[in-house]
Structure 1
Amino acid sequence: MPNEMKGQYSQFDEGIRGMATESLKDWRNSIGEAAITIVDQILDGKNEEERKTFIARHINSTFWNRPYYFRNNNAERREDVFQSRIVSETFATHFEIIKNIPDDSRLEALPKAALVLSILAIDRAFTLSHSGIYSGDFSSYQLAKDVSPRIHQLFEKGRNGQDRVTAQMWSQIIAAAKAHVEPQASNITSSIPLEDEEEMPDELLYKPQMLSIEV
């Protein structure tokens, strides 16, 4: 978003609402499609029974402790949470989309919404692969909208008042995702965007074309 418009979205609402809605839809669908592609790659070469067993192991658990959150599905290494291949490559889609947007045109909040959306997209990709029915329109997937508040709890404070995902863990999670982003054509560096996926991120307005888990 141009600097003169930052913080004044409501004043320009009527003129840019359509553009903002389309950009947000494209952002969501890009993450949804990335998850499907990566799940297909992971399941490639497995027979039907192996696929069913693999998928069941990953989604027949609570959102607090999905095996696919962790590298090598090793939930004992809590410091590796949200750094598995499937999470990192899906989450990387967000950074790929915003990589050429200048730092001063971005919000400084942690990209919680993008990571929540990645988790929801991965779950949907496993479910679709299990049923053999695919749909590209992730933006209209109602179950993801309904479950989103529950997933956001993963990134809130625990009962002890401490962040479930610490600043150090966030740095590792973001670094793991950015490792899958193609190098930029310029020296513009990526930063940390998005706070709420239901609100239009400044980054997408600017360029519309385009855990230690304690319950």
Structure 2
Amino acid sequence: MPNEVKGQYSQFGGAIRELATESLKDWRNSIGEAAITIVDQILDGKNREERETFIQEQTNGTYWERAYYFPENNAKCSEKTFQSRILSETFATHFKIIQDIPDNNRSKALPEAALVLSISAIDRAFLLSQSGIHSADFTSYQSAKDFGSKIHGMFAKNRSGQDRVTAQMWSKIIAAARAHVEPQTSNITRSIPS
């Protein structure tokens, strides 16, 4: 926050809140639109039956192990979880949006919310594709908001108190997404402990 407005939130709070809300809405919708675009690209050229079969295979089962989390849908390759093309390209949208923010103004926290939003957006993109809809306001979709809170659980600590997604895995997930961002202006993985 600029020094000129520090301590004056009561005077500027409404405008700040409105700008922040609009920025969050744009961020969510950008990730949602990216998911829809990528799903459309993947499904392009498939007939109706092939599309339905593909979507069913990708979203079958629980949110803990969706096929699209893994490259080539290979769940046995757990060290590459959250590094599939569809997930990496959707998640890359977050990095494209923040690439002009100076590193010293960025949060040092892992971009968990962006990854959770990407997963929710992909699930919704599959649902919209099944319905023949190719555009939507992602921010108004209540099921995605509900689903998002469940997905956050995948990134919490397990019963033993260990991170389910290790720092090393985060580095790989971020690198896979950043490979889809041009130009790469920051190295967020430096801040991840080994």
- Give 1:74-113 correspondences, 5 Å limit: 74-113=74-113
Would the aligned equivalents of 1:28 and 1:139 in 2 still touch at CA under 8 Å?
Answer: yes
RMSD: 2.1
Percent identity, please. 67
* Alignment partner, residue 33 of structure 2: 33
Task: Give the SS at the match of 2:128.
Answer: helix
Residue 121 of structure 2 is matched in structure 1 by 121
CA contact (8 A) 1:101 1:190 kept: no
Aligned length: 188
**Superposed CA offset, 1:114-143 (max 9, x none):** 000000000000011111124421011111
Could you tell me which residue of structure 2 aligns to residue 64 of structure 1?
64
Compute the TM-score of the two structures, normalised by the length of structure 1: 0.82
Query: Which 5+ residue runs of structure 2 have no aligned equivalent?
Result: 190-194
Unmatched tracts of structure 1, length 5 or more: 193-215
Larger deviation: 44-53 or 86-95? 44-53
What is the Cα deviation at residue 52 of structure 1? 0.6
- Given that 2:39 and 2:86 are in contact with CA atoms closer than 8 Å, whether structure 1 keeps it comes out as yes
Structure-2-length-normalised TM-score:
0.90
Q: Which has the higher contact order (CA 8 A, sep 6+)?
A: 1
- The 8 Å contact of residues 100 and 190 in structure 1, kept in 2 or not, is answered as no
1:1-215 alignment to 2 at 5 Å?
1-2=1-2, 4=3, 13-183=13-183, 188-189=185-186, 191=188
Report the CA distance between 1:27 and its aligned residue: 0.3
Q: State how far apart, in whole Å, the 1-side matches of 2:170 and 2:7 are.
A: 29
Q: Which amino acid aligns with 1:26?
A: D
Higher share of residues assigned helix: 2
Q: Which amino acid aligns with 1:104?
A: N
Contact kept in structure 2, 1:157 and 1:164, CA below 8 Å: yes
